[in-house]
Every structure is written in C-alpha cells, then in structure tokens.
Structure 1
Amino acid sequence: MRRPSFVLLAPVVACLGLLTACGSDDPEPAEDACSWMPGSGPVAKDVDAPAEDAEPAETAVITFAQGDVTVTLDPEARCAATSFTSLAEQGYFDDGPCSRVSDPSAVPYGIVQCGDPTGTGGSGPGYTFADELEGDEAYPRGTVAMANAGPDTNGSQFFLNFDDSDFPSDYTVFGTIDEAGLEVLDEVAAVGAQGGAPDGPPAEPIVIESVSVP
C-alpha cells in the first residue's frame, strides 16, 4: 500500500516522515525480552529506559484541557505498553504539546500525534525498541499506536485515532480508547491543522497536561 504524503512538521528535522519519530538507525530486534536500544535523535527530556522487571499498567489516562482520554493498554504489545507506562510514571509526557493533527475528510486517516514534549515531532526519550507486529494491524477509530521512523525505531511518539485510518501495518497498536475518551478526543482534534492544511501542526495548541497510570 502506498503511504499518504506527509506534511512537514518542522523546518529542520532529519528523521521526519509518515508518523515519524526519531530513532536509532539499526537497532537489534527484541526477542523474548524487551530490548531498549540507544536512540540517535534529539532527546526531549532526560528519562530512564524501563527497568528489566518493568510491567505495563492496565490503563492510562491522558489528560487534555478538554478532558480525560482513558486508554486500555494491550498486554500483547508488552514492550510498547511497558515503555508508555514507564514514561508516564516519569512525567515525560506532562505539559507536552502534540505535533500533528489530520483532517479525515481530506486525507484517509484521522490522527492526533503526540509523545514528543518539544512539540516538533522530532525528538524522543533517548532509546528505541522493536516493533510488535502481526502483519495484519489496522487502525480504526479508538486505537492507539506507536509512531516510528522505520522498522524497530519506536520511542515515545504515538498517535490517537479519532477516525478510521488507512495505514500500512507498520505501527504497533498498544491501546484502545473508551467511548467517553473518544468524545474528548473529537474535541481535541477539532482545532484542525494550521492554515486549514489536511495534516500538520495544530492550528491551536494541543497539550497533554499529564498522563497518569494506576
């Protein structure tokens, strides 16, 4: 499947692309355990990679000014869910502007992309980890998935699907948003992209106030 074209999110970010997040050039894939590999892109905040015995939370609450978006984390995507949990516990996402929003009436996807506290879409947590893919991933409304810059370059960036999104099965799905959260997400996404673009930086700031886990 051909990827949709991408609207540039920052004037100078070398690793941007579709659902881009900076990562290492050649990480080794995880096997039985999650492997946290050094990342090559800019580090947004100083945080630690998850501990060896780290486990994912069952749920996470992403708080925007418009309200709370509750995500049920998928234990089958253990590394992605564990990393997300660890970053949330360290306050990595707090007060972080989201870098991208799309208009599903103009492009075949409806997403809000977050997870880079600089708001540029070009930074990460200083580590990457391998994809967790079955090959038949889909991205309907309500799914949460990792953004990446190519195979096995997951870091901290993720996208929230407020509409069905037609992407290739290249992005690890690690959570599902509840119905109340989707109503909030619709309000969040309603700001649209700058200049009425079909996809790009939000026209008004979209900021994650906090991400909390039980």
Structure 2
Amino acid sequence: MIRTLLAAAGVGLALVATACSSDTDDSSSSTWTTPGGAAETVDSSAFPALPAPLPATAPTTTCSYPASGTASRPVTPPPATDVAATGTAAVTMTTSQGPIGLTLDRAQSPCTVNSFVSLATQGYYNDTPCHRLSTSGLYILQCGDPSGTGTGGPGYGYDTEYPLTAYASGDPASTQPVVYPRGTIAMANTGRPGSNGSQFFLVYDDSPLPPQYTVFGTVSDEGLATIEKVAAAGDDGSMAAGGGKPNTPIRIETVTVG
C-alpha cells in the first residue's frame, strides 16, 4: 500500500510536503521520491542552509550494499571495501535535451558516489527517461529509473549519507527542512532506512527539504540550462507526491565518468 505523509514547516508560511513510500520491504514495489507538491510559492530564505559536511577521517571507507528488490536492469553491486573517501569524480550526461555535467564529491558521500559511478560505468543509466519534474515549491528533475515508472532500482540499497550524517542521532533538526541549493544532485529514497538505490534528483532552484536525502555533488551551469529548458514547459501533474512527467520529455542517452 502506498501511503502519503503530510508535514507543515516554515517561518511565516506553511510548506506542505508529501512523501510516498511502500509498506512492503520489497523495494521493487516502492516509489522512490522526494517530498513535494507544495501548493504555493515557497520562500527558501525562511529555511536554514545545509549543515557543513563532516571532514573525511580516512582516505577510504567501507560501504554496505545489501540486496533489495529486483534490479530494473542486470547490474553488479559496487565494491564495498577500500572505497575512496576523498576527491571528486567528473561525470558527463548526454541527454535528448542537452548536456548535463556533474561533479561528484566523494568526501561528502563516498558510498553514494561509489554506487553512482559503478552504475554509470556498467551502462545502467544509458537510454533511461527522467520520469518526474516538479516546478512548484520543490524544483527538481528526477531520473535514474530504467523502467521510467518511479519504482525501479538496482537490486540493492544503502544508507543515507550527508547531510544526515552531519546531525547527531535523534537530533530533531534532522527532520526539519533545510535549503537544498540550486545546482545540487541528491538521491531519492522511499523514506525507509537503507532505501537509496539508483534514482537521483537534480535541483534547478533552491528547494526546502528535510536533510534525509543524500547530497553527493553539483550540477554544471550548462546542465542547469538544460534542466531549465525542460522545466519551462512544466509537467503533467500526474504524481501524487507533486509534479509529474515532464511535458518536454528528457532521456539520458549516455553517462560517462571522466
């Protein structure tokens, strides 16, 4: 069963955000999403900035990618030991609407970058649609599901990293919205622990979200121009979580890691 969670937050305004998740532990039947669907313009200045990331304590780390659901495409889980925890990775996405460049930050979220790079090098993201656009309150383009339904994943999951890791366990601030700034790339999840997979979202304007969605890099100016071109045509409003399919379809053609 899909359930909708409503939460209100804000300084001087009400932000209504929805999050969709599944009551089953099988991630193949879940909807990967982010909160959204605000019915009014949101003043992002009413929300705090993302917390500063914790400094890396070692050049490598160990990750965990347990099996979860059925893979939308055949894929091998990424290596889990000696994962680089410093430096960046340059990624180029060619899409049907133009190029999108990414700079991934291993120090912020090493296990996420490790997974994304692994999926990219295996061709998992090639010829896949971006299935969700939100243009009200939350300004994102969501991609990374080969099925194009919002339910697909790589057959494994892993834990949320930065910014959640910047908060002490149980800190109530970790559930309150902060600003995910324009140019951020972050992971979508189902709302359950360990439910990060392959779906990600690209933020093309400042958007308030609870810090429960892993930030792992930035989008190039050229990439933002591509996303804004798609966003200008709006979405079909078909998704209960907010937004819908882009009225101007956009498909990832190739993803290469430099």
Please classify the TM superposition score into its range, dividing by the shorter chain length: 0.7 to 0.9
After TM superposition, list the pairs within 5 Å mapping 1:199-214 onto structure 2: 199-214=243-258
In the TM superposition, residue 48 of structure 1 has moved relative to its aligned partner by 0.5
Query: Contact 1:63–1:211 (CA<8 Å) still a contact in 2?
Result: yes
Partner amino acid for 1:47?
V
Q: Percent identity, aligned pairs only?
A: 43
Of structures 1 and 2, the larger Rg is shown by: 2
DSSP 3-state at the match of 1:85: helix
DSSP 3-state at the match of 2:227: helix
**TM-score, length of structure 1 as denominator length:** 0.81
**Aligned residue for 2:119?**
87
In the TM superposition, residue 89 of structure 1 has moved relative to its aligned partner by 0.1
**TM-score, length of structure 2 as denominator length:** 0.68
Alignment gaps of 5+ in structure 1? 21-31
Distance 1:195 1:166 in 2: 20
**Aligned residue for 2:197?**
155
Higher strand share: 2
Q: Which runs of 4+ in 1 moved over 3 A?
A: 52-57, 135-138, 195-198
Show CA shifts across 1:166-194 (max 9, x none): 11111000010122221122113233212
Show CA shifts across 1:100-128 (max 9, x none): 0011xxx3110000000110010100000
Distance 1:17 1:67 in 2: 25
Q: 1:48 to 1:167 in 2, by over 3 A?
A: same
Number of residues of Structure 1 aligned to a counterpart in Structure 2: 195
Distance 2:158 2:227 in 1: 27
Alignment gaps of 5+ in structure 2? 1-6, 9-15, 22-27, 36-60, 168-173
Show CA shifts across 1:109-160 (max 9, x none): 1000000011001010000011112247641110000000123210000000
Distance 1:154 1:195 in 2: 25
Query: Contact 1:7–1:199 (CA<8 Å) still a contact in 2?
Result: no
Query: Contact 2:237–2:245 (CA<8 Å) still a contact in 1?
Result: no
In the TM superposition, residue 54 of structure 1 has moved relative to its aligned partner by 5.2
